[in-house]
């Protein structure tokens, strides 16, 4: 992710395109990316979360600060990367933090703590 940010900051559009997952490159709008990179002043990158190094797929949540036409902006994105052919590839992303999935446990479901008891008789007894 840091290398991609640096590529935006130095207007290295070739590198940005080369790090996009091969099957996603047809969606890569080179002119739009180049216009944004060239017109912007890149002011900093904060990585908020990244996958563990032993994973083959992961999300990187980041905030990039940039100026455009004299105004300050934040680009907050959660990007999905896939590890293939001994390197990480950008797959896609969503604006903002990645939505977190929460599974609701019913009173009569098995307790998620692994005790084998019903939730209402285990961890849910105090709830």
The pLDDT, as a whole number, for residue 7 is: 95
**Rounded mean pLDDT of 36-46?**
94
User: pLDDT at position 107, please?
Assistant: 82
Residue bearing the bigger pLDDT, 126 or 105: 105
Mean pLDDT of the chain: 90
Closest CA to 77 of 87, 56, 91: 91
pTM of the complete model: 0.72
Report, as an integer, the average pLDDT of 14-37: 95
């Amino acid at each position: 992710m840091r290398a991609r940010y640096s590529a935006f900051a130095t207007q290295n559009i070739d590198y940005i395109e080369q790090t996009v997952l091969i099957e996603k490159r047809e969606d890569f709008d080179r002119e739009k990316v180049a216009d944004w990179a060239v017109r912007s002043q890149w002011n900093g990158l904060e990585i908020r979360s990244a996958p563990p190094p032993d994973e083959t797929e992961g999300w990187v949540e980041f905030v990039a600060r940039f100026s455009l036409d004299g105004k300050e902006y934040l680009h907050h994105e959660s990007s999905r990367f896939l590890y293939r052919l001994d390197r990480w590839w950008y797959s896609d992303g969503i604006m903002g933090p990645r939505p977190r999935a929460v599974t609701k446990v019913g009173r009569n479901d098995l307790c998620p703590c692994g005790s084998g008891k019903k939730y209402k008789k285990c961890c849910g007894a105090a709830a």
